[in-house]
Amino acid sequence: MLTDFVKSIPPEKEAMKAELKTEREKLANASMKIKGAKLPVMVIFEGWGAAGKGSVIASVIKNIDPRFFEVATTHAEPTVEEKRKPFLYRYFIEIPEAGQFKFFDTCWMREVTDGILDGTLSEQDYARRVQSINITERQLTDNGYLVMKFFFNISKKEQSKRLNALLADKNTKWRVNKDDIWENAHYKESQKVYDKYLSDTNRSTAPWYIIDAKDKEWAELQVLRFLNQGIDTALKNHSLAVPILQNAFPLKQMPLLKDIPLDKSLTDEEYKAELKLLQARLHDLHYKLYRKKIPVIIAYEGWDAAGKGGNIKRITGALDPRGYVVHPIASPEPHEKARHYLWRFWKRLPKTGHVAIFDRTWYGRVMVERLEGFCSENDWQRAYNEMNEFEKELYDWGAVIIKFWVQIDNQTQLQRFTDRQNTPEKQWKITDEDWRNREKWDLYEGAVNDMIQKTSTAFAPWHILESVDKKYARIKALRIVISELEKACKER
């Protein structure tokens, strides 16, 4: 890529001044348009030390009203806390909201190329991170984000000249760090690594723009040209449906809901005895996975009144409260709705060694959001693959992912609803909305079947909990959780 770079042709001095003026005005106007179109714009600056990224960012943002942009606060190095999350976590939580620019002075590229250069990242981990980055950039684009990536390129000689000039002045000396000096001394080696990364992540949905950064004004003009072009294109695409991707994950064959026998049950005695034994085992396992730093994600979906809450309690009852969180998921708040729909789940990911239990999940996208029209048809059709990719990302990070569908039949729900209605201390549990949803049972059943068929991947399949007898469902859940955690503890 770098080597492949076709030389840029800067305009003459006067023409440059005139064009800079035009392009700056274009950007000022564009920022109103992206607000109107609710387009989120992620602008990533990477490149050589002392190539002038910071000063071009400073010039570019002067054209935008401060209400319409933010500069990301990501550090070059992840903190100790951040190291206990998936690699992308600290970047993904920074994505802009709809109608806003977010500028990144280095982003996920820097961490990856640094890892290669200082030898802390294996070839295999490099390949995995490149894959994660490519999937994430594509998912952002598919979900209506504009992702612009600039690489500021200068020669070894030019970099050396700039570093020396900075070092010579006591007011600017502090701006040169030892990484910059190392990079210049190992220019060729670094170039090879950057080159490879640029080519590995040069996808058509989020291509790299190599900026010839020898001259500051020309660098700014190149950035403005590409940024304005990119915004034009993104605004044109904004209302378009995105082609659905082919499924590329091995899937487990799953039964349809109607074919699942629901007559399984346990006696009270069986239940009590089993519960005690299993909770004790899970209790011990929890410490083991804490020591082995295995992150665990347990996802619950199911019919209203199927018994999710009670089921979750039997799991958490066995866990050390310092090591788990239950996330009840309601409809998204405005600041959540303004971002990629998985953003609020990224924010809630557990640290390594911890358990996160989701009471309702990201699968809302293909159930309630699908059926109530809270997202477009294209959005939910795309979501099966996006959620498989999301879970693959977590699986590759090392997470154990357990997904439960808590299943009851229509008649059982009616009984439980009626019981709730008629029992004063249970009345808070039943709302008009529950009754309205109930009327759409058949539609929901279709959506759930689609979901289970399309997202039972080999690495994160659905488990059905037959919950007409809640006791049976609780014991089955405990057994599955224990078996999955034991498997994971054995493998690490």
The binding site for a second copy (CB under 8 A) comprises 3, 6-9, 11, 19, 124, 127, 131, 135, 138, 141, 148, 199-200, 203-205, 207-209, 226, 229-230, 233-234, 236-237, 240-250, 252-253, 378, 381, 457-459
Closest CA to 44 of 2, 101, 117, 84: 101
Would you say 215 or 434 has its CB closer to a second copy?
Answer: 215
Minimum distance of a second copy from residue 207's CB (angstroms): 4
C-alpha to C-alpha distance for 163 and 147, rounded to whole angstroms: 30
Minimum distance of a second copy from residue 125's CB (angstroms): 12
Q: Please, what sign has the CA dihedral across residues 9, 13, 14, 20?
A: positive
Minimum distance of a second copy from residue 53's CB (angstroms): 19
Q: Cβ(320)–Cβ(286) under 8 Å?
A: yes
Helix ranges (DSSP H) in 238-300: 268-291
Token representation of residue 403:
């997904």
Minimum distance of a second copy from residue 366's CB (angstroms): 15
Would you say 391 or 469 has its CB closer to a second copy?
Answer: 391
Would you say 50 or 234 has its CB closer to a second copy?
Answer: 234
Would you say 148 or 478 has its CB closer to a second copy?
Answer: 148
C-alpha to C-alpha distance for 417 and 430, rounded to whole angstroms: 7
The H or E element that residue 326 is part of is strand 324-328
C-alpha to C-alpha distance for 51 and 163, rounded to whole angstroms: 10
DSSP assignment of 9-20, as one string? -PPPHHHHHHHH
Minimum distance of a second copy from residue 17's CB (angstroms): 14
C-alpha to C-alpha distance for 217 and 20, rounded to whole angstroms: 8
Would you say 11 or 328 has its CB closer to a second copy?
Answer: 11
Minimum distance of a second copy from residue 215's CB (angstroms): 15
Can you say whether residue 293 is alpha, beta or left, with left for phi > 0 and alpha for psi between -120 and 50 degrees? left
How many secondary structure helices (H) and strands (E) does the chain include?
A: 19, 10
Would you say 171 or 253 has its CB closer to a second copy?
Answer: 253
Neighbours of 75 (CB within 10 A): 10
Minimum distance of a second copy from residue 117's CB (angstroms): 19
CB crowding 302-331: b at 16 or more within 10 Å, else e = bbbbbbbeebbebbbebbeeebbebbebee
Minimum distance of a second copy from residue 24's CB (angstroms): 17
> Residues with Cβ < 8 Å from 192, sequence gap 6 or more?
none
Minimum distance of a second copy from residue 253's CB (angstroms): 7
Would you say 135 or 383 has its CB closer to a second copy?
Answer: 135
Would you say 96 or 307 has its CB closer to a second copy?
Answer: 96
- Cα 380 → chain centroid: 16
C-alpha to C-alpha distance for 109 and 51, rounded to whole angstroms: 16
Q: Could you tell me whether strands 101-105 and 296-302 are parallel, antiparallel, or unpaired per DSSP bridges?
A: unpaired
The number of residues making up the chain comes to 492
Would you say 63 or 378 has its CB closer to a second copy?
Answer: 378
